[in-house]
Protein backbone atom coordinates (compact mmCIF):
# COMPACT_ATOMS: atom_id res chain seq x y z
CA UNK A 1 0.00 0.00 0.00
CA UNK A 2 1.33 3.41 -1.02
CA UNK A 3 2.19 5.74 1.87
CA UNK A 4 2.99 9.45 2.22
CA UNK A 5 6.48 8.61 3.49
CA UNK A 6 7.20 6.53 0.39
CA UNK A 7 6.20 9.44 -1.82
CA UNK A 8 8.63 11.79 -0.04
CA UNK A 9 11.40 9.20 -0.22
CA UNK A 10 10.95 9.05 -3.99
CA UNK A 11 11.09 12.85 -4.20
CA UNK A 12 14.36 12.91 -2.22
CA UNK A 13 15.92 10.34 -4.56
CA UNK A 14 14.81 12.27 -7.63
CA UNK A 15 16.05 15.59 -6.31
CA UNK A 16 19.56 14.25 -5.68
CA UNK A 17 19.92 13.46 -9.40
CA UNK A 18 18.54 16.62 -10.96
CA UNK A 19 19.54 20.24 -11.36
CA UNK A 20 17.02 23.05 -11.49
CA UNK A 21 14.61 20.48 -10.15
CA UNK A 22 11.49 22.28 -8.94
CA UNK A 23 9.07 24.32 -11.06
CA UNK A 24 10.14 27.95 -10.85
CA UNK A 25 7.54 30.71 -11.17
CA UNK A 26 9.59 33.79 -10.33
CA UNK A 27 12.19 33.53 -13.11
CA UNK A 28 12.95 36.99 -14.57
CA UNK A 29 13.87 35.42 -17.93
CA UNK A 30 10.34 34.40 -18.99
CA UNK A 31 6.78 35.67 -18.58
CA UNK A 32 4.51 33.32 -16.63
CA UNK A 33 1.18 32.90 -18.43
CA UNK A 34 -0.59 30.16 -16.46
CA UNK A 35 0.00 27.04 -14.38
CA UNK A 36 -1.59 23.68 -13.62
CA UNK A 37 -0.76 20.55 -11.65
CA UNK A 38 -2.02 17.02 -12.44
CA UNK A 39 -2.01 14.10 -10.00
CA UNK A 40 -2.02 10.48 -11.28
CA UNK A 41 -2.07 7.02 -9.70
CA UNK A 42 -3.01 3.44 -10.52
CA UNK A 43 -3.81 0.20 -8.69
CA UNK A 44 -0.13 -0.84 -8.63
CA UNK A 45 0.90 1.86 -6.12
CA UNK A 46 2.41 3.95 -8.89
CA UNK A 47 1.99 7.71 -8.72
CA UNK A 48 2.94 10.83 -10.62
CA UNK A 49 2.65 14.60 -10.23
CA UNK A 50 3.00 16.64 -13.42
CA UNK A 51 3.30 20.42 -13.30
CA UNK A 52 2.40 22.53 -16.32
CA UNK A 53 3.93 25.98 -16.62
CA UNK A 54 2.89 28.03 -19.63
CA UNK A 55 5.44 30.76 -20.36
CA UNK A 56 6.32 33.27 -23.04
CA UNK A 57 10.06 33.16 -23.62
CA UNK A 58 10.96 36.50 -25.17
CA UNK A 59 14.50 35.31 -25.94
CA UNK A 60 13.45 32.47 -28.26
CA UNK A 61 10.22 34.36 -29.05
CA UNK A 62 7.89 31.49 -28.40
CA UNK A 63 5.02 30.37 -26.18
CA UNK A 64 6.23 27.26 -24.37
CA UNK A 65 4.43 24.74 -22.17
CA UNK A 66 6.95 23.32 -19.69
CA UNK A 67 6.11 20.02 -18.03
CA UNK A 68 7.93 18.71 -14.95
CA UNK A 69 7.19 15.18 -13.82
CA UNK A 70 7.65 13.55 -10.42
CA UNK A 71 6.79 10.01 -9.44
CA UNK A 72 7.83 6.39 -9.01
CA UNK A 73 6.78 5.35 -12.51
CA UNK A 74 8.65 7.69 -14.85
CA UNK A 75 10.17 6.05 -17.91
CA UNK A 76 13.85 5.18 -17.28
CA UNK A 77 16.62 7.14 -18.97
CA UNK A 78 14.39 10.15 -19.55
CA UNK A 79 14.62 13.58 -17.86
CA UNK A 80 11.74 14.67 -15.67
CA UNK A 81 11.32 17.79 -17.79
CA UNK A 82 10.15 18.44 -21.35
CA UNK A 83 8.60 21.21 -23.43
CA UNK A 84 5.81 21.41 -25.99
CA UNK A 85 4.62 24.37 -28.06
CA UNK A 86 0.86 24.84 -28.46
CA UNK A 87 1.27 27.64 -31.03
CA UNK A 88 2.61 27.37 -34.58
CA UNK A 89 5.98 29.15 -34.62
CA UNK A 90 5.43 30.99 -37.89
CA UNK A 91 2.37 32.77 -36.48
CA UNK A 92 4.43 35.12 -34.29
CA UNK A 93 6.01 36.98 -37.20
CA UNK A 94 2.58 37.64 -38.65
CA UNK A 95 1.09 39.21 -35.53
CA UNK A 96 3.92 41.11 -33.82
CA UNK A 97 7.11 43.04 -34.45
CA UNK A 98 9.60 43.10 -31.57
CA UNK A 99 6.81 41.62 -29.43
CA UNK A 100 4.46 44.53 -30.24
CA UNK A 101 1.16 43.37 -31.75
CA UNK A 102 0.57 45.08 -35.09
CA UNK A 103 -2.43 45.55 -37.37
CA UNK A 104 -6.16 45.75 -36.81
CA UNK A 105 -7.01 42.04 -36.89
CA UNK A 106 -4.61 39.31 -35.85
CA UNK A 107 -4.97 35.61 -35.02
CA UNK A 108 -2.85 32.86 -33.50
CA UNK A 109 -3.28 29.21 -34.35
CA UNK A 110 -3.40 27.30 -31.07
CA UNK A 111 -3.56 23.52 -31.54
CA UNK A 112 -5.04 24.07 -35.00
CA UNK A 113 -7.71 26.46 -33.68
CA UNK A 114 -7.52 30.01 -35.01
CA UNK A 115 -8.23 32.39 -32.13
CA UNK A 116 -8.21 36.21 -32.27
CA UNK A 117 -5.75 38.45 -30.50
CA UNK A 118 -7.84 40.91 -28.52
CA UNK A 119 -7.03 44.55 -29.27
CA UNK A 120 -9.60 46.22 -27.02
CA UNK A 121 -7.65 47.93 -24.21
CA UNK A 122 -10.69 47.81 -21.91
CA UNK A 123 -10.62 44.02 -22.06
CA UNK A 124 -7.10 44.05 -20.63
CA UNK A 125 -8.08 46.52 -17.93
CA UNK A 126 -11.06 44.38 -16.89
CA UNK A 127 -8.82 41.30 -16.79
CA UNK A 128 -6.33 43.08 -14.51
CA UNK A 129 -3.61 43.20 -17.16
CA UNK A 130 -1.77 46.50 -16.93
CA UNK A 131 -0.19 47.27 -20.29
CA UNK A 132 3.49 48.16 -20.00
CA UNK A 133 3.01 50.73 -22.76
CA UNK A 134 -0.51 52.05 -23.40
CA UNK A 135 0.47 52.71 -27.02
CA UNK A 136 1.07 49.01 -27.73
CA UNK A 137 -0.16 45.58 -26.76
CA UNK A 138 2.78 43.29 -26.17
CA UNK A 139 2.60 39.65 -27.17
CA UNK A 140 2.92 38.27 -23.65
CA UNK A 141 0.05 40.53 -22.54
CA UNK A 142 -2.12 39.28 -25.40
CA UNK A 143 -1.23 35.67 -24.55
CA UNK A 144 -2.22 36.16 -20.91
CA UNK A 145 -5.65 37.38 -21.98
CA UNK A 146 -6.02 34.59 -24.55
CA UNK A 147 -5.07 32.01 -21.95
CA UNK A 148 -7.76 33.35 -19.62
CA UNK A 149 -10.39 33.06 -22.33
CA UNK A 150 -9.30 29.90 -24.14
CA UNK A 151 -7.55 28.08 -21.29
CA UNK A 152 -8.26 24.52 -22.41
CA UNK A 153 -6.35 25.00 -25.67
CA UNK A 154 -3.18 26.02 -23.86
CA UNK A 155 -3.03 23.13 -21.36
CA UNK A 156 -1.29 19.81 -22.00
CA UNK A 157 -3.22 17.09 -23.80
CA UNK A 158 -3.58 13.63 -22.29
CA UNK A 159 -1.08 12.34 -24.85
CA UNK A 160 1.47 14.97 -23.79
CA UNK A 161 0.89 14.23 -20.10
CA UNK A 162 1.44 10.49 -20.62
CA UNK A 163 4.74 10.91 -22.44
CA UNK A 164 6.71 9.99 -19.31
CA UNK A 165 4.22 7.81 -17.41
CA UNK A 166 2.41 4.46 -18.03
CA UNK A 167 -0.79 4.49 -20.07
CA UNK A 168 -2.89 3.07 -17.20
CA UNK A 169 -2.22 6.04 -14.88
CA UNK A 170 -5.54 7.63 -13.88
CA UNK A 171 -5.79 11.38 -13.42
CA UNK A 172 -7.39 11.88 -10.00
CA UNK A 173 -6.91 15.60 -9.37
CA UNK A 174 -6.28 18.69 -11.51
CA UNK A 175 -5.57 22.09 -9.96
CA UNK A 176 -5.12 25.46 -11.64
CA UNK A 177 -4.65 27.13 -8.24
CA UNK A 178 -2.58 26.07 -5.27
CA UNK A 179 -0.03 27.61 -2.91
CA UNK A 180 3.28 27.26 -4.72
CA UNK A 181 6.65 27.78 -3.08
CA UNK A 182 9.63 28.55 -5.28
CA UNK A 183 12.93 27.04 -4.22
CA UNK A 184 15.19 29.70 -5.66
CA UNK A 185 15.20 33.47 -5.52
CA UNK A 186 16.85 35.93 -7.87
CA UNK A 187 19.11 38.80 -6.97
CA UNK A 188 19.94 41.73 -9.21
CA UNK A 189 23.71 41.93 -8.85
CA UNK A 190 26.32 44.41 -10.05
CA UNK A 191 29.67 42.82 -10.79
CA UNK A 192 31.25 46.19 -11.52
CA UNK A 193 32.73 46.17 -8.04
CA UNK A 194 34.31 43.49 -5.89
CA UNK A 195 32.69 41.99 -3.94
CA UNK A 196 29.47 41.95 -5.96
CA UNK A 197 26.94 44.61 -5.03
CA UNK A 198 23.37 43.33 -4.66
CA UNK A 199 20.64 45.80 -5.61
CA UNK A 200 17.90 43.67 -4.15
CA UNK A 201 16.02 40.39 -4.26
CA UNK A 202 13.13 39.85 -6.65
CA UNK A 203 10.47 37.27 -5.91
CA UNK A 204 6.89 37.64 -4.76
CA UNK A 205 7.31 41.10 -3.22
CA UNK A 206 6.46 43.97 -5.56
CA UNK A 207 8.09 46.43 -3.14
CA UNK A 208 11.41 44.54 -3.12
CA UNK A 209 11.33 44.25 -6.89
CA UNK A 210 10.84 48.00 -7.35
CA UNK A 211 13.70 48.76 -4.95
CA UNK A 212 15.99 46.45 -6.93
CA UNK A 213 14.97 48.06 -10.22
CA UNK A 214 15.49 51.60 -8.95
CA UNK A 215 18.96 50.73 -7.64
CA UNK A 216 19.85 49.04 -10.92
CA UNK A 217 18.50 52.00 -12.91
CA UNK A 218 20.83 54.33 -11.00
CA UNK A 219 23.74 52.03 -11.86
CA UNK A 220 22.76 52.04 -15.53
CA UNK A 221 22.80 55.82 -15.53
CA UNK A 222 26.34 55.60 -14.15
CA UNK A 223 27.33 53.54 -17.18
CA UNK A 224 27.64 50.14 -15.48
CA UNK A 225 25.42 48.41 -18.03
CA UNK A 226 27.46 45.34 -18.93
CA UNK A 227 27.99 44.17 -15.36
CA UNK A 228 24.43 43.97 -14.05
CA UNK A 229 23.22 40.37 -14.04
CA UNK A 230 20.60 38.12 -12.48
CA UNK A 231 21.92 35.65 -9.94
CA UNK A 232 19.88 32.62 -8.88
CA UNK A 233 20.23 31.70 -5.21
CA UNK A 234 18.81 28.48 -3.67
CA UNK A 235 16.52 29.18 -0.76
CA UNK A 236 17.31 27.55 2.61
CA UNK A 237 15.40 24.43 3.62
CA UNK A 238 14.84 23.43 0.00
CA UNK A 239 12.73 20.33 0.69
CA UNK A 240 9.25 19.41 -0.58
CA UNK A 241 8.18 18.09 2.84
CA UNK A 242 8.24 21.69 4.07
CA UNK A 243 5.54 22.65 1.56
CA UNK A 244 1.90 22.32 2.51
CA UNK A 245 0.96 21.66 -1.12
CA UNK A 246 3.27 18.65 -1.36
CA UNK A 247 1.86 17.17 1.86
CA UNK A 248 -1.63 17.51 0.44
CA UNK A 249 -0.59 16.06 -2.92
CA UNK A 250 0.99 13.10 -1.12
CA UNK A 251 -2.15 12.53 0.96
CA UNK A 252 -4.34 12.54 -2.15
CA UNK A 253 -2.01 10.13 -3.94
CA UNK A 254 -1.64 7.75 -0.99
CA UNK A 255 -5.38 7.53 -0.33
CA UNK A 256 -6.61 7.94 -3.90
CA UNK A 257 -9.10 10.46 -2.52
CA UNK A 258 -9.11 13.95 -4.12
CA UNK A 259 -11.22 15.19 -1.18
CA UNK A 260 -8.06 14.95 0.95
CA UNK A 261 -6.86 18.15 -0.70
CA UNK A 262 -7.91 20.76 1.89
CA UNK A 263 -5.43 23.66 1.82
CA UNK A 264 -5.10 26.25 4.56
CA UNK A 265 -2.90 28.63 2.54
CA UNK A 266 -4.31 30.89 -0.19
CA UNK A 267 -3.52 30.04 -3.83
CA UNK A 268 -0.76 32.06 -5.50
CA UNK A 269 -0.18 30.43 -8.88
CA UNK A 270 -1.73 33.23 -10.95
CA UNK A 271 0.94 35.19 -12.84
CA UNK A 272 -0.11 38.35 -11.00
CA UNK A 273 1.42 36.93 -7.81
CA UNK A 274 4.89 36.68 -9.40
CA UNK A 275 5.85 40.25 -10.33
CA UNK A 276 9.45 39.29 -11.13
CA UNK A 277 8.26 36.97 -13.91
CA UNK A 278 9.61 38.40 -17.17
CA UNK A 279 11.41 41.19 -15.36
CA UNK A 280 14.54 40.69 -17.44
CA UNK A 281 12.65 41.85 -20.54
CA UNK A 282 11.48 44.98 -18.74
CA UNK A 283 14.97 45.60 -17.41
CA UNK A 284 16.57 45.23 -20.84
CA UNK A 285 14.02 47.66 -22.30
CA UNK A 286 15.04 50.14 -19.60
CA UNK A 287 18.69 49.47 -20.42
CA UNK A 288 18.00 50.07 -24.12
CA UNK A 289 16.17 53.33 -23.39
CA UNK A 290 19.09 54.61 -21.30
CA UNK A 291 21.59 53.63 -24.01
CA UNK A 292 19.55 55.60 -26.56
CA UNK A 293 19.44 58.59 -24.23
CA UNK A 294 23.24 58.53 -23.88
CA UNK A 295 23.87 58.06 -27.60
Tell me, letter by letter, the H, E, C secondary structure of the chain: CCCHHHHHHHHHHHHCCCCCCCCCCCCCCCEEEEEEEEEEECCCCCEEEEEEEEEEECCCCEEEEEEEEEECCCCCCCCCEEEECCECCCHHHHHEECCEECCCCCEEEECCEEEECCCCHHHHHHCCCCCCCCCCCEHHHHHHHHHHHCHHHHCCCHHHHCCCCCCCCEEEEEECCCCCCCCEEEEEEECCCCCCEEEEEECCCHHHHHHHHHHHHHHHHCCCHHHEEEEEEECCCCCHHHCHHHHHHHHHHHHCCHHHCCCCCCCCCCHHHCCCCCHHHHHHHHHHHHHHHHC
Same domain, 177 and 189: no
Q: CA separation (Å) from 189 to 24, 63, 68, 212, 225?
A: 20, 28, 29, 9, 11
Does residue 195 have a cis bond before it (omega within 30 degrees)? yes
Residue 278 is assigned to a structural domain of this protein: no
Are residues 208 and 254 both part of a single domain?
no
Q: What is the dihedral of CA 67, 229, 142, 51, to 10 degrees?
A: 10
Say yes or no: 148 and 10 in one domain. Answer: yes
Beta bridge partners of 155: none
- Kindly state whether residue 142 falls inside one of the protein's structural domains: yes
Q: Return the ∠ at Cα 180 (arms to 277 and 15), rounded to 5°.
A: 100
| Residue at 16 is within a domain | yes
Mean pLDDT of 125-129: 92
| 277 within a domain of the structure (yes/no) | no
Please tell me whether residues 259 and 179 are part of one structural domain.
yes
What per-residue confidence (pLDDT) applies to 292? 41
Distance CA 35, CA 32 (A): 8
Domain count within the chain: 2
Residue 199 shares a structural domain with residue 94: no
Verify that 152 and 217 share a domain, yes or no. no
Residue 236 pLDDT: 60
pLDDT of 216 over the 70 cut: no
Give the C-alpha separation, 153 to 134, whole Å.
28
Mean pLDDT of the chain: 82
Pair 73, 167 in one domain? yes
Q: What is the pLDDT of residues 185-214, one digit of tens each?
A: 666 665 555 455 565 555 555 566 666 666
pLDDT of residue 284: 64
**8 falls within a domain:** yes
Which residues have C-beta within 8 Å of that of residue 193, sequence separation ≥ 6?
none
Let me know whether 227 and 241 are in one domain.
Answer: no
How many Cβ atoms sit within 10 Å of the Cβ of residue 108? 24
Strands 81-84 and 96-97, bridge-based pairing: unpaired
Domain match, 128 and 213 both: no
- C-alpha 286/C-alpha 220 separation (Å) is 9
Domain membership of residue 276 (yes or no) is no
* Lowest-pLDDT range of 20-24, 69-73, 153-157, 223-227: 223-227
Q: Does 279 map to a domain? A: no
In a domain, 225, yes or no: yes
CA-CA distances (angstroms) from residue 220 to 2, 60, 74? 55, 25, 47
Is it the case that residue 174 has pLDDT exceeding 70?
yes
75: left (phi over 0), alpha (psi -120 to 50) or beta: beta
pLDDT at residue 293, as a whole number: 44
pTM of the full predicted structure? 0.85
19 pLDDT higher than 60? no
Q: Are 36 and 168 in a shared domain?
A: yes
Q: What CA–CA distances, in Å, run from 41 to 258, 272, 275? A: 11, 31, 34
Predicted confidence band of residue 168 (pLDDT cuts 50, 70, 90)? very high
Domain of 199 in residue numbering reads as 184-232+284-294
Residue that wins the pLDDT comparison between 126 and 79: 126
**Quick one: 226 and 107 in the same domain?**
no
* 105 and 14 in a common domain: yes
- The residues near 220 (Cβ < 8 Å, ≥ 6 apart) are 228, 286, 287, 290
Amino acid sequence: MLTVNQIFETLKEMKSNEQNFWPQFNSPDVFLISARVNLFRNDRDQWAVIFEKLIFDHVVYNLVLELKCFGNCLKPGMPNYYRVSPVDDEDYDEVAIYEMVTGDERFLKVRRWRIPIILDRDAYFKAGIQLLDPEYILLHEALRLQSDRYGALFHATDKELHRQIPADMEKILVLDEWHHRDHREFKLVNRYESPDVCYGTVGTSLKEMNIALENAKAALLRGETERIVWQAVPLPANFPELDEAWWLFAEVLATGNPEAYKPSLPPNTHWRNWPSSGLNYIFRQLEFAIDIRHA
